[in-house]
């Protein structure tokens, strides 16, 4: 599916709405990947509950383990095993996107929470307003900065969620990649020496790939005492509140981990 930029006076194409309603299970993207370590069945079960609640089709993609030395050694990098495994996992998703020829793919990590009306947000406030040449789209991010004077939202001013370019977001828990974007990333991600989200930011800041960020995030990282990061277990991810948390509606309670 190709999306063209609409101006503020245009409405969403009827054809687009029809197409999305026919296949709402991928939020209008060609495919949804969920990166999940095989031994984290707890996270897979939670993500499947989210998928069932929203009637979404998740493709659970086996993450590379920090202990999989054979696979990690195929990718030159000075990163620690945990960060290298994260980088290689995302890299292998890009390879899958190119192999299958998906024009648009949403990549999720397995520790996320979504707005209860995620379908409306994506269908009405995001996809119809993407420029045709988009390459990276962050539906969830951290440290992306706020909305400043001079920022021009691609979807105008009438929506709560703003589509803003040039925000250099961090965190890779919820972002979409176009086919061209995936091809570019495979070329640029060579001898990665900093965590993958920082490396992607470096590529963005150099102007080598186009990036658009949704502010506020409609997908956030889930933080709880029993859910430390597999990549940085001692880190406390930044907290961004959702208006209506899917996991709260499913009965999960969020407990913020506090570090001394």
pLDDT of 252: 87
Question: What residue has token string 């509950």?
Answer: 49
Give tens-digit pLDDT for 196-237.
999 999 999 999 999 999 999 999 998 665 555 555 555 555
**Percent of the chain whose pLDDT exceeds 90:** 72
pLDDT of 15: 40
pLDDT of 143: 73
The pTM for the full model equals 0.85
Determine the topology of domain 14-249 in CATH. Spore Coat Polysaccharide Biosynthesis Protein SpsA; Chain A (3.90.550)
State the average pLDDT over residues 143-172. Answer: 88
Q: Which of 33, 227, 5 is nearest to 127 (CA)?
A: 5
CA-to-CA distance for 24 and 152, rounded, in angstroms? 29
State the average pLDDT over residues 57-64. Answer: 97
CA-to-CA distance for 230 and 235, rounded, in angstroms? 10
Count how many Cα atoms sit within 13 Å of the Cα of residue 159 in the half-sphere of its side chain: 25
In 68-210, DSSP assigns E strands to 104-109, 112-114, 136-142, 162-165, 170-178
pLDDT higher than threshold 50 for residue 5: no
pLDDT of 19: 44
């Amino acid at each position: 599916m190709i999306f063209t930029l609409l101006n503020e006076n245009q409405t969403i194409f009827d054809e687009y709405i029809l197409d999305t309603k026919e296949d709402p299970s991928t939020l209008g993207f060609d495919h949804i990947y969920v990166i999940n370590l095989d031994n984290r069945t707890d996270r897979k079960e939670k993500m499947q509950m989210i998928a069932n609640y929203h009637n979404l089709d998740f493709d659970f993609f086996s993450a590379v383990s920090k202990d999989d030395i054979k696979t990690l050694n195929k990718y030159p990098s000075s990163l620690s095993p945990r960060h290298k495994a994260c980088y290689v996992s995302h890299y292998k998703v890009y390879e899958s996107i190119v192999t299958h020829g998906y024009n648009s793919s949403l990549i999720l990590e397995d520790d996320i929470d979504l707005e209860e009306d995620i379908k409306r947000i994506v269908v009405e406030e995001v996809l119809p307003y993407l420029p045709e040449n988009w390459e990276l789209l962050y539906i969830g991010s951290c440290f992306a900065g706020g909305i400043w004077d001079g920022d021009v939202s691609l979807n105008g001013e009438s929506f709560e969620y703003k589509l803003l370019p040039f925000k250099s977001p961090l965190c890779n828990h919820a972002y979409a990649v176009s086919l061209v974007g995936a091809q570019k990333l495979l070329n640029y991600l060579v001898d990665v020496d900093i965590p993958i989200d920082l490396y992607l930011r470096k590529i963005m800041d150099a102007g080598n790939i186009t990036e658009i960020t949704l502010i506020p995030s409609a997908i956030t990282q889930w933080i709880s005492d029993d859910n430390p990061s597999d990549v940085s277990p001692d880190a406390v991810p930044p907290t961004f509140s959702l208006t209506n948390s899917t996991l709260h509606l499913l009965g999960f309670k969020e407990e913020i981990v506090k570090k001394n």
